[in-house]
Each structure stands twice: as C-alpha cells, then as structure tokens.
Amino acid sequence: MSKNALVRGYNSTSAFGATKKETRTKGLHSRCVRKGRISILGAVMLTSIIITIPQCYGVIIRCNNSTMKVIPRLMKVFPTTEGSLNLIHYKLGRVPLGGKNWTEMTQQLSQLLSGYNTRQMNYQNITECSEESPPAGHSCFFNIQLISSECTEAKTFGYRRSEPCIFLQFPNISNWEPVPYNISDPQTVNELPERLRSTYDPRYAYINCEGDTAFDRENLGFINYSPYQGFPVNFFPYTGQPNYMPPLVAVHFPTLRIGVAVNVVCKLWAKNVNHTEDAVPNGTVRFTLLVD
C-alpha cells in the first residue's frame, strides 16, 4: 500500500461561469444557510463568543449565564480556525506588504511540529514502531521527516503559494482507540467511502477530506495526505504516557481556487467512529478555506 495517498480531485474552475465575486459569495452562503446563520455579519459579531469552540474538546463553556457542552472530536485542526464558519482565511503576498496574516498561521504550524523532534527517540519510554504496538507504558515515535516536503516550514507549509497544508492531530482523548474494519466482512467494508475500499489497511484509522458540496469539491481540487492518510493504530490508546507523540496528518490542497470560500469536511474512519453531529466522540471536523 502506498503510504502517501492521493485523492482524486476536480479541476479548479469556477462553477457555471460565475464571476469571482459571485463564486466567493456562493461558497460562504452555502455554509451560512446550512448552519442557520442569518448573515456573515451576524457570524462575525458572535466571534467573541464562539471563536474558541472548535478547539475546546469536551470542555464546558459558560457564556451569558448559559452552559454549552462542546462535543469532543477525534481530530484537532491546525492552524486555529475562526468563528462559526471555522474559517481559515489569509491573503497572498510577500511580507511585509500584502501577505501579513499567513505568517501567523505558519508560525502556529512550526510550533505544532516543534513538539516532534528526533531527540525524543532518546527518551526511555519512546519506541520506534513499525507494525507492532509498543510495550506497556511506552509510546511510538512519530517521525515528522516522513511528511511531504510541500508541508514543511522550508516551503512555508504552502501558504506563500496558495497551496495551504492543514494539519489534523489526535487530541489525546484518554483510553480511546480505533477499531479496524474487518475487510472480509462486506457489510462493514461497505461503510467506508468507495475511494478507500481498494486501499484499506487495518493498520490505519483512515482520514478522508472532501468538499462539502459539488461546488466545494470543484473549487477544492486535488488533496494529498502525508505521512499517511490516517492515524497508525499502534499509537493508541493514549493512557497518559509521558512524552506521548499524538499522530497527525498533513492535508495538502495544491489546487485550491483563489478567492472562493470552500467548505471542507474531514472524517476519521474506524468501526467505532460515528459521524453524526451529536456523536461522542465525534469523527468529523469542518472548516472553510479562503485564500485572497
């Protein structure tokens, strides 16, 4: 099985000859209607209330004397998303001229990867795993050198070239571990997306990202994953081991349409993962990409 999977994408051309302004508006509008928001302005006004919600996994948040429970999710999104649309938005250009805010995002990603370094191989409870699980009380070493060069600090994680990389990381939910599908059971395998069935490997909890609608898929284009298209199952469960290195996946969007708000849905696939909105823990994350 190839560890670097490529999901078939779509040509990044505007839908039905729409103008740039119309196309961008349509992308934002589709998310607002689905979420029941009245307008983008309303979402922006609420940002101060809900901006931290996507990254709060199982935390109780109190606001205006009301209590909201945030459903724990099996993936964290980096860089940090904003507002009710879980927006990742930046402007192209050289620093310090036009492209000011993409540097903040790449700094977040550099900080994320700084927690994964070769020195950790010297820790007594870190083991370099292949297919086997680590000994009790130990954790597998996660080698970020296997991440595609397109999603590295040396290439600004693709942000300078409008080819952003988004990182999905396991959020250290205690005692949870993915249950692989039984590939000899047609009923369970049919639960997988068709594009994953031919390459399914029970050593991984697969991750599949795509545009939320046909419009989004057209403007999202191709998707690349590295170092694998999912989390290796021998990194689970997390039981509070010191120096634990949570698995992560770099999701690269090399043909993202500029000037269009594209809604993306990413799902983690395992037999014990539910993707309904109220499932706990939840195997789905959503975000909107917008590059100007």
In a domain, 1, yes or no: no
* 7 phi, psi to nearest 5 deg: -90, 130
| Structural domain contains residue 131 | yes
| Total domains present in the chain | 1
pLDDT digits (tens, 9 = 90+) for 75-115: 999 999 988 889 999 988 765 455 558 889 999 999 999 99
Encode pLDDT of 184-206 as tens digits. Answer: 887 777 788 888 888 889 999 99
Judge whether 177 lies within some domain: yes
The answer to whether residues 288 and 37 touch, using CB atoms and an 8 Å cutoff, is no
Specify if 56 maps to a domain: no
Residue 63, domain member (yes or no)? no
Max distance between CA atoms of the chain, in angstroms, equals 59
- Domain membership flag for residue 254: yes
Containing structural domain, residue 227: 6-43+73-291
The pTM for the full model equals 0.76
Average pLDDT for 123-150: 90
> Looking at residue 31, which CATH number applies to its domain?
2.60.40.1660
Residue 262 falls inside a structural domain: yes
User: Each residue of 15-60: pLDDT tens digit?
Assistant: 333 444 444 545 544 444 444 443 434 433 333 333 333 344 443 3
